[in-house]
Amino acid sequence: MGKFFTSILPEHEAFIRKQHIFFVGSAPLKADGHVNLSPKGHDALRIFSPTEVAYLDLTGSGNETSAHLLENGRITFMFIALEGQPMILRLYGTGRVVLPGTDEWETLAPHFEMMPGARQIITAALHAVQTSCGYSVPYFSYEGDRETLRKWADTKGEEGLTAYRHEKNSISIDGLVTPIGRQY
């Protein structure tokens, strides 16, 4: 079952900062809804306090996390050691979406390197941190971040990204409206 903590300890923060990838999990309330698990890369995560984290969310083909957060707020982050000592670290919390053009965006955005395709910032107030062994996680070597999304977003341009988000990021696969969808 692992060990539980009420906040991110300094050793947890050091572990998180070494990771090149993390995963975000969320789910709708309805039992037959789709559980979502999304990998996140780049230098997108920020730890604001032992109980508050946020990440810069980039445009993608779906927007499930955003829809789930609007509906119920539940979010889990998972970090895994792919190098060094084995460990899995999970952050459990209540998340929300911050959209561009809001006062909160103006406060949070300077903490991130803005990348082409940035569509929202996901923040989370944490209520639990869990560590577990990670003994079965294989070793992998980090070679670098992919530039594919950045190039795709640059090619689309802001007008093209806005149209894409309207088409692909407004409603979840379970029919839940996202904060982006509320704008239209």
- Angle value at C-alpha 52, between 114 and 6, nearest 5 degrees: 150
Residues 6+ apart with CB under 8 A from 8: 16, 47, 50, 51, 53, 91, 126, 129
Encoded tokens for 141: 């070597």
On whether the CB atoms of residues 162 and 23 are closer than 8 A, the answer is: no
Q: Give the model confidence (pLDDT) of 17-68 as tens digits.
A: 999 999 999 999 999 999 999 999 999 999 999 999 999 999 999 999 999 9
Q: Give the model confidence (pLDDT) of 80-130 as tens digits.
A: 999 999 999 999 999 999 999 999 999 999 999 999 999 999 999 999 999
Angstrom distance (rounded) from CA 6 to CA 12: 12
Residue 171 DSSP symbol: B
Q: Give the model confidence (pLDDT) of 129-168 as tens digits.
A: 999 999 999 999 999 999 999 999 999 999 999 999 999 9
Query: Of the candidates 40, 56, 44, 51, which has an alpha carbon nearest to the alpha carbon of residue 13?
Result: 51
Residue 184: which pLDDT band, with cuts at 50, 70 and 90? confident
Decide if pLDDT at 4 tops 90. Answer: yes
Got the DSSP string for 139-158? P--------HHHHHHHHHHH
Report the pLDDT value the prediction gives residue 111, as an integer from 0 to 100. 98
In terms of C-beta distances under 8 Å and separation of at least 24 residues, what long-range contacts does 146-152 make, across chains too? Answer: 146/41, 149/58, 149/59, 149/60, 149/115, 149/117, 150/115, 150/116, 150/117, 152/117
List the beta bridge partners of residue 132. 88
pLDDT, averaged across the chain: 97
Angstrom distance (rounded) from CA 165 to CA 67: 13
Report the pLDDT value the prediction gives residue 3, as an integer from 0 to 100. 97
Encoded tokens for 14: 């050091």
Give me the half-sphere count of Cα atoms (radius 13 Å) on the Cβ side of residue 61.
2
All structural domains of the chain, each given as residue ranges with its CATH number in brackets, are 3-134+145-175 (2.30.110.10)
